[in-house]
Structure 1
Amino acid sequence: MSDSLGDGRGNPTATQIRLYERWAQGGAALSLIGEVQVDPRFPEKPGNLVLGPTTNRAAVRELTHRAAIDDAHIWPQLGHAGALAHPPLSMPKGPSPLDVEGLRCEGMSAEEVAALPAQYAEAAAQAKALGFTGVQIHAGHGFLLSQFLSPLFNQRSDAWGGDVRARTRVVVEIVAAVRQQVGPAFPVGIKINTSDQLVGGLTADEGLEVVRILDGTSLDLIEFSGGTYFPGAPSASDSLGGGPYFIDFARRARPLTRKPLVTTGGFKTRDQVVEAVASGVTDAVGLARALVLDPALPARWISAMNEEVDDPSFPRFRDPPPEGITAWYTQRLTAIGEDEEGDYGLSLQEAIAAYQGRDQARVQNWRERFE
Structure 2
Amino acid sequence: MITKPLSQDTATRSTEERLFSPLTLRCGQVLKNRIIKAAMSDSLGDGTGHPTDAQMRLYERWAEGGAAASLIGEVQPDHHHAEKPGNLVLNDASNLEHFKALAVQGSQHNTGLWLQLGHAGAMAYPPTSIPHGPSALDVPGLSCQALSLEDIKALPGIFARTARLARDTGFGGVQVHAAHGFLLSQFLSPLFNQREDDYGGSLENRMRLLLETIAAVREAVGTDFVVAVKLNATDQLEGGFEDSEALHVIAALERTPIDLIDISGGTYFPGARSASDASASGPYFVEFAKRAREVTSLPLMATGGFKTLAQAQAAVNEGAVDIVGLARSLALDPALPHHWQAGEGVEPELPRFVSPPEGSVTAWYTLRLTQLGEDREHESLGELDEVLAEYETRDAARAETWRAHFVFRDEAIG
TM-score with structure 2 setting the length:
0.88
Q: Shift of the alpha carbon at 1:148?
A: 0.4
Give me the whole-angstrom Cα distance separating, in 1, the residues matched to 2:218 and 2:371: 36
- Residue 28 of structure 1 is matched in structure 2 by 67
User: 1:353 aligned to 2:367?
Assistant: no
- Residue 372 of structure 2 is matched in structure 1 by 336
- Report if aligned partners of 2:339, 2:346 keep a CA contact under 8 Å in 1: no
Residue 355 of structure 2, aligned match among 298, 302, 319: 319
Superimposed CA distance per residue, residues 208-249 of structure 1 (whole angstroms, 9 cap, x where no aligned partner): 111011111001111000000110001224346221001111
Give me the whole-angstrom Cα distance separating, in 2, the residues matched to 1:146 and 1:112: 17
- Residue 342 of structure 2 is matched in structure 1 by 303
AA aligned to 1:86 is Y
Q: Would the alpha carbon gap of residues 98 and 213 (structure 1) be closer, same or farther in structure 2, given more than 3 Å must change?
A: same
Residue 108 of structure 2, aligned match among 69, 89, 96: 69
What is the DSSP-based 3-state SS (H/G/I as helix, E as strand, rest coil) of the residue aligned with 1:319? coil
What is the DSSP-based 3-state SS (H/G/I as helix, E as strand, rest coil) of the residue aligned with 1:106? strand
Number of equivalenced pairs: 368
Give me the whole-angstrom Cα distance separating, in 1, the residues matched to 2:380 and 2:175: 31
Residue 239 of structure 2, aligned match among 200, 204, 219: 200
- Report if aligned partners of 2:307, 2:348 keep a CA contact under 8 Å in 1: yes
Alignment of 1:1-371 (within 5 A): 1-239=40-278, 241-304=280-343, 309-371=345-407
What is the DSSP-based 3-state SS (H/G/I as helix, E as strand, rest coil) of the residue aligned with 2:207? helix
- Report if aligned partners of 1:328, 1:347 keep a CA contact under 8 Å in 2: no
Give me the whole-angstrom Cα distance separating, in 1, the residues matched to 2:346 and 2:212: 45
Give unpaired runs (5+ residues) of structure 1. none
Q: Shift of the alpha carbon at 1:49?
A: 0.1
CA RMSD of aligned residues (A): 1.0
AA aligned to 1:319 is S
- Residue 5 of structure 2 is matched in structure 1 by none
Q: Would the alpha carbon gap of residues 346 and 354 (structure 1) be closer, same or farther in structure 2, given more than 3 Å must change?
A: same
Give me the whole-angstrom Cα distance separating, in 1, the residues matched to 2:85 and 2:202: 34
Q: Shift of the alpha carbon at 1:351?
A: 1.2
Give me the whole-angstrom Cα distance separating, in 2, the residues matched to 1:26 and 1:53: 32
Give runs of ≥4 in structure 1 deviating > 4 Å.
none
- Identity among equivalent positions (%) equals 55
Give me the whole-angstrom Cα distance separating, in 2, the residues matched to 1:262 and 1:143: 19
Q: Would the alpha carbon gap of residues 345 and 364 (structure 1) be closer, same or farther in structure 2, given more than 3 Å must change?
A: closer
AA aligned to 2:346 is D
Q: Would the alpha carbon gap of residues 313 and 239 (structure 1) be closer, same or farther in structure 2, given more than 3 Å must change?
A: closer
Q: Shift of the alpha carbon at 1:342?
A: 1.5
Pick the structure with greater CA Rg.
2
Q: Would the alpha carbon gap of residues 239 and 21 (structure 1) be closer, same or farther in structure 2, given more than 3 Å must change?
A: closer
Give me the whole-angstrom Cα distance separating, in 2, the residues matched to 1:68 and 1:312: 24
Q: Would the alpha carbon gap of residues 91 and 345 (structure 1) be closer, same or farther in structure 2, given more than 3 Å must change?
A: closer
Give me the whole-angstrom Cα distance separating, in 1, the residues matched to 2:107 and 2:61: 11
Give unpaired runs (5+ residues) of structure 2. 1-39, 408-414
